[in-house]
Amino acid sequence: MDEFLKLAIEEARKGLAEGGIPIGSVLVVDGQVRGQGHNRRVQKGSAILHAEMDCLEAAGRLTAKDYQRAVLYSTLSPCDMCSGTALLYKIPKIVIGENQTFQGPEEYVRSRGVQLEIVDSAECIELMREFIAQRPELWNEDIGV
């Protein structure tokens, strides 16, 4: 498996170990990790720190040119918020661990010129399936349901 997706899964597992929602994300520019993070709704009492947002915040204030040659990794299909953030910064490619347990606005994101690669990772699917079965109310909160 792609080393960066592996790192995103490690982030997801960190989140789970902290009592959080197991979704992880990594931002890569020119083959280098510039940021990594995981969902911290529970840990920080946050309404906005989905994994991708936590990752981009950890990366700090990059230049437009950095974002425009970056690849964003996420263990799960990015929601409307995280997809919108990738669009704001014109991140050209997103690698998605899986989109079976949740699917964001992938068609719209593609229509805006972003390349999406769906890995369909059994490990990512399993992480989410177990979590959703155990904490459905927390998962619903995370996706605004």
Residues 55-114 that bind a second copy (CB under 8 A): 56-57, 59-64, 67, 79-85, 87-90, 105, 108
**Do residues 55 and 36 touch, judged by C-beta distance below 8 A?**
yes
CB of 76 to a second copy, least distance (A): 13
CA distance linking residue 100 with residue 73, whole number of Å: 16
Q: Is 91 exposed, middle or buried (0-12, 13-18, 19+ CB in 10 A)?
A: buried
Q: Does 122 bind a second copy (CB under 8 A)?
A: no
Comparison of 1 and 48: residue with beta carbon closer to a second copy: 48
CB of 122 to a second copy, least distance (A): 27
52 an active-site residue? Answer: yes
Which tokens in the block code for residue 89? 């910064």
CB of 54 to a second copy, least distance (A): 9
Host H or E run for residue 118: strand 115-118
Q: Which sequence positions are flagged as catalytic? A: 52
